[in-house]
């Protein structure tokens, strides 16, 4: 399994709008992507940033999303995101939910 972590700075007072946009615009697109498994989004209490972790069957699935649908979603989310999000790609080493154990 492969993880794609996106750290975003949010515009002031945009947490509510971010949450609604993510639910209505981003998640439906993710669900249509080949190899997509799960999405987890974190909003620290200060409301200044969001962290989104998507899980994929394979690295190639995440890379295809990054080249295809992601740039368009980023444009749509520009009204609530400040600057360019930081993206980090990783192999998943453990997950109790997805029943992945360390190799």
pLDDT tens digit sequence for 30-63: 999 999 999 999 998 899 999 999 999 999 999 9
For 18, the token pair is 């971010």
Closest CA relative to residue 11, chosen from 42, 38, 47: 47
Give pLDDT, residue 70: 97
In the chain, what's the furthest Cα-to-Cα distance?
43
Give the contacts of 76 (CB within 8 A, at least 6 positions apart).
21, 25
Bridge partners, 10 (sequence order)? 81
Identify the structural domains of the chain with CATH numbers, from first to last: 2-91 (3.30.70.100)
Give the contacts of 24 (CB within 8 A, at least 6 positions apart).
none
- Say whether pTM exceeds 0.85: yes
**Helical (H) or strand (E) element with 83:** strand 81-91
Residue 20, SS3?
Answer: helix
Give pLDDT, residue 94: 83
Average pLDDT, the chain: 93
């Amino acid at each position: 399994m492969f993880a794609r972590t996106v750290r975003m700075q949010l515009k002031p007072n945009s947490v509510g709008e971010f949450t609604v946009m993510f639910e209505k615009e981003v998640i439906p697109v993710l669900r249509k992507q080949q190899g997509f498994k799960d999405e987890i989004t974190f909003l620290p209490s200060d409301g200044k940033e969001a962290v989104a972790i998507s899980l994929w069957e394979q690295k190639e699935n995440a890379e295809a999303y990054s080249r295809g649908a992601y740039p368009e979603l980023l444009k749509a989310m520009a009204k609530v995101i400040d600057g360019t999000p930081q993206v980090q790609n990783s192999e998943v080493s453990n997950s109790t939910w997805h029943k992945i154990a360390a190799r």
